[in-house]
Chains A and B, each alone.
Chain A
Amino acid sequence: MADDAISLLEHVDIMQLNCLDEVSEHTLSGIVAQKKINTTSSYLLSDADEQLLLTIPFHQTVRVRSIIIRSSGGDIDQAPKRVKLLVNRPAIGFEDADGEEPEVAQILDLTEDDVKNGRPIPLRFVRFQGVNSLHIFVVSNQGGADETRIDAVDVLGMTQETTKDLKGLKQQEE
Chain B
Amino acid sequence: MPLEATMMIIDNSEFMRNGDYQPTRFDAQSDAVTTVVQTKIDSNPENTVGIMTMAGKGPEVLVTHTKDIGQILQAIHTTSSKIGGTIDIPTAIAIAQLALKHRSNKNLRQRIIVFVASPLDGPAADEKGMVKLAKKLKKNNVAIDVVCYGDGIEEPFDEGKTVLKSFVESANSGDNSHIVTAAPGNLLLSDVLISSPILAGDRSASIPDDLVPGGAGDGAGASSSANNNFEFGVDPSLDPELAMALRMSMQEAAAREAAEAGPAGSSSTAAAPADAMESEEDAELKRALALSQQDQDVDMDAGAAPPSTTAPTTVAAPAAPADAMEEDEEDEDAAIARAIAMSMEQDNADAGAGKSK
Contact surface of A with B, Cβ cutoff 8 Å:
15-16, 18, 20-25, 47-49, 51, 55, 90-91, 93-94
Contact = CB atoms under 8 A, between A and B. Distances in A.
Contact of A94 (B140, B173, B176): B140
B67 interface: no
Contacts, number: 36
A48 B102 contact: no
B177 to A, nearest CB: 12
Given A20-B140, A21-B140, 18 more contacts: A15-B107, A16-B107, A18-B106, A20-B141, A21-B139, A23-B173, A24-B173, A47-B173, A48-B135, A48-B138, A48-B139, A49-B139, A51-B139, A55-B106, A90-B106, A93-B101, A93-B140, A94-B140
B37 to A, nearest CB: 24
Contacts of A49: 135, 139
Interface string B136-169: 0011110000000000000000000000000000
Nearest to B103: A91
A25 B173 CA distance: 10
A134 to B, nearest CB: 14
Contacts of B139: 20-21, 47-49, 51, 94
A155 B120 CA distance: 48
A93 B139 CA distance: 10
A21 B135 CA distance: 10
B282 to A, nearest CB: 52
Contacts of B174: 23-25
Contacts of B140: 20-21, 93-94
Most buried by B among A16, A93, A94: A93
Contacts of A93: 101, 140
A15 to B, nearest CB: 6
Tell me if A's interface is mostly helix, strand, loop or mixed: loop
A20 B176 CA distance: 15
Interface in B51-107: 101-102, 106-107
B138 A91 contact: no
14 contacts: A16-B106, A21-B138, A21-B139, A23-B173, A24-B173, A24-B174, A47-B173, A48-B135, A48-B139, A49-B135, A49-B139, A90-B106, A93-B101, A93-B140
Contacts of B176: 24
Nearest to B174: A24
Contacts of A55: 106
Contacts of A48: 135, 138-139, 173
A47 B138 contact: yes
B141 A21 contact: yes
B175 to A, nearest CB: 9
Interface string B173-207: 11010000000000000000000000000000000
Nearest to A92: B101
B150 to A, nearest CB: 31
Contacts of B173: 23-24, 47-48
Contacts of B135: 48-49
A22 B106 contact: no
Contacts of B102: 91
Contacts of A18: 106
Contacts of A16: 106-107
A74 B204 CA distance: 38
Contacts of B107: 15-16
A90 B107 CA distance: 12
A48 to B, nearest CB: 4
A51 B140 CA distance: 11
A18 B3 CA distance: 14
A147 to B, nearest CB: 12
A16 B3 CA distance: 13
Contacts of A21: 138-141
B298 to A, nearest CB: 56
Contacts of A24: 173-174, 176
Contacts of A47: 138-139, 173
A130 B102 CA distance: 23
Interface string B108-152: 000000000000000000000000000100111100000000000
Most buried by A among B101, B102, B139, B173: B139
Contacts of A15: 107
A91 B106 CA distance: 9
